[in-house]
């Protein structure tokens, strides 16, 4: 079974439009919810129903022991990756980029694949730090 960390945009598309349902509910994947994605989902949950949907999602992952927080080693690697991105001329002050770097380093340490619908930042990260990435 393939271990995956789904990027925030996958959950948003599913919650808002029912898109990519197979990624969230289909067989042959062991899905983990990264605490970084929870943070981003909470920021974007503007309505009561959206906040309740995030609550239910987080509860389901907690119940199954598949809520994954970045370990200290992920922060250490993320700092090195961000430094190298900065040296390459990339603006690194964006919270979105920092979160993507943490998601990528967490996935690498967990032996999981990041699945995203927007690979732009992840491709830049992967040029510096190898990790498994799948774009849908």
Q: Report all structural domains of the chain as residue ranges with CATH numbers, in order of start.
A: 2-135 (3.40.50.1010)
Which residues, given as ranges, of the chain have pLDDT below 50?
none
What is residue 44's predicted lDDT score, i.e. its pLDDT? 93
Overall pTM > 0.85: yes
Q: Dig out the tokens for 122 from the structure.
A: 């992840």
Check residue 89 and give left, alpha or beta (phi > 0: left; psi -120 to 50: alpha): left
Distance (Å, rounded) from C-alpha 20 to C-alpha 117?
A: 10
pLDDT at 4: 98
What pLDDT is stored for residue 51 in this prediction? 95
Distance from C-alpha of 99 to C-alpha of 75, rounded to nearest angstrom? 10
Predicted pLDDT at 21: 92
């Amino acid at each position: 079974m393939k271990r995956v960390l789904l990027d925030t945009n996958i959950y948003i598309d599913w919650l808002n439009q029912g898109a990519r349902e197979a990624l969230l509910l289909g067989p042959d994947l062991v899905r983990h919810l990264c605490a970084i994605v929870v943070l981003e989902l909470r920021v974007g949950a503007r309505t009561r129903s959206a906040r309740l949907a995030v609550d239910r999602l987080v509860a389901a992952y907690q119940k199954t022991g598949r809520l994954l927080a970045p370990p200290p080693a992920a922060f250490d690697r993320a700092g090195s990756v961000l430094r190298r991105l900065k040296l390459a001329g990339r603006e690194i002050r964006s919270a979105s980029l920092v979160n993507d770097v943490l998601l990528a380093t967490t996935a690498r340490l967990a032996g999981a694949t990041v699945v995203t619908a927007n690979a732009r930042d992840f491709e830049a990260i992967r040029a510096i730090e190898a990790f498994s990435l799948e774009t849908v």
